[in-house]
Amino acid sequence: MKKLIMKIEPKINRQKLKQTILEEYGFKIEKIKFIPKGDVGLSFVAQRKEKKKLFIKIYPPTRSAKISIQNLDFSLGVCYDFYTKCSIKNISFPLLTKTGELKINFESNPLAIFNFIEGKNQDNGKLSNKELVKVSELLASIHKNSNKIELKKVPIEKFNIGFKDELINGINILEQKKRLSNKYKIKLAKLLIPMKNEIISLLEKTVKLGKSIRLKESDFVLCHTDPIPQNLIINKNHDVFLIDWDGVKLAPKEHDLWFYLWDNPILFLTSYKNIYESLTLDKEVILFYFYFRILEDLTYWVYTILNENIEGKQNKSDLREVESYCLERIENIDKYKNKISTIIIDYENH
């Protein structure tokens, strides 16, 4: 599963940021600390008087942030409504400005302020059984309350592979040695070129699955789409909170569920079904999202190494993820496919 990306601290005019927040939100900020994690926005923790904290997220003009910005009004509105209208409290949600807006612009970039959640981020991806049950119940509550959310300009799953050409183009560039301007790009080429046929094959399988799923009638709900352990905050009471709602869309519930089918899936699924009673799993949908995520993450890292990264530390981190996460799964894709089949059979027979 994709890990959080370590980010290099950007050059931000902190005094200007404090003043902007004071003017737009009315919050007087004493300290601002950069949080070097995440692959979409720039994250900061702001401290007010009496140790009250806020979470700030700025969306810079990077590839991943631009994708999120397209649906930012919707994603901010959804988590705000889940919190205020559906009483789903274990989530991050945006705070309103003085004029009732969900976001502002700071130096031409969108900025949103969220409630600060005290606790630890699950960087290692390991959850206790108690925490796993709470994740399951939280996702079930979100899915069950989808019909209470007013949907305007809602992103809907089309089962397309929008990054397909971008990934193929990136691999083609890696094959042109003269265009590889540093050792990290050369290393990336050495990792991917021998695996080109396998990568293209997985792309073709994913496209085929998408076409097949589009012919079916699927039950769509509002999905977070990235409820990985690294997007959870767990407090000292083992309460689980879901953050980073940038990718929320209408999609089959499997879009959220497949992430937690690898360890103790029966516990996870039965806990989910206690709240969202109607649960059947579609193997094709699960495989589609599993394959899609591998390729989506690979595309992200290929693009950032080729076009965005300027720090060696960031390149090293990204290369590790390409090798240990993406390529490991592509090399063993049949093993993972068989495991998914077994999980579904075990659940149906439970």
pLDDT digits (tens, 9 = 90+) for 274-291: 999 889 999 999 999 999
Q: pTM for the whole thing?
A: 0.92
Question: Minimum mean pLDDT among 75-89, 272-286, 298-312: which range?
Answer: 298-312
Task: Identify which of 186-195, 229-238, 307-316 has the greatest average pLDDT.
Answer: 186-195
Question: Residue 129: pLDDT above 50?
Answer: yes
Domain borders along the chain are: 14-116, 129-349
Q: Over the chain, what is the mean pLDDT?
A: 92
State CA 188 to chain mean position distance: 23
Q: What is the token pair recorded at 8?
A: 């290099």
What is the average per-residue pLDDT within 298-304?
Answer: 94
pLDDT digits (tens, 9 = 90+) for 318-332: 999 999 999 999 999
C-alpha dihedral sign at 179, 181, 184, 187: positive
d(CA 234, CA 117): 9
Question: Residue 243: pLDDT above 50?
Answer: yes
Question: Residue 41: pLDDT above 50?
Answer: yes
Instruction: Report residue 75's pLDDT band, with 50, 70 and 90 as the boundaries.
Output: very high
pLDDT digits (tens, 9 = 90+) for 84-100: 999 999 999 999 999 99
State CA 267 to chain mean position distance: 23
% of the chain exceeding 90 in pLDDT: 79
- CATH code of the domain made up of 14-116: 3.30.200.20
Same fold, 14-116 and 129-349: no
Instruction: Report residue 150's pLDDT band, with 50, 70 and 90 as the boundaries.
Output: confident
Question: Residue 4: pLDDT above 60?
Answer: no
User: Is the separation of the CB atoms in 96 and 102 below 8 Å?
Assistant: yes
User: Is the separation of the CB atoms in 72 and 59 below 8 Å?
Assistant: yes
Give residues with Cβ within 8 angstroms of 178, minimum separation 6: none
Query: What count of other Cβ atoms lies within 10 Å of the Cβ of residue 239?
Result: 15
- Residue 1 pLDDT: 46
- Domain 129-349, what fold? Aminoglycoside 3'-phosphotransferase; Chain: A, domain 2 (3.90.1200)
Location of structure tokens 């927040």? 21
249-252/120-121 β-pairing: unpaired
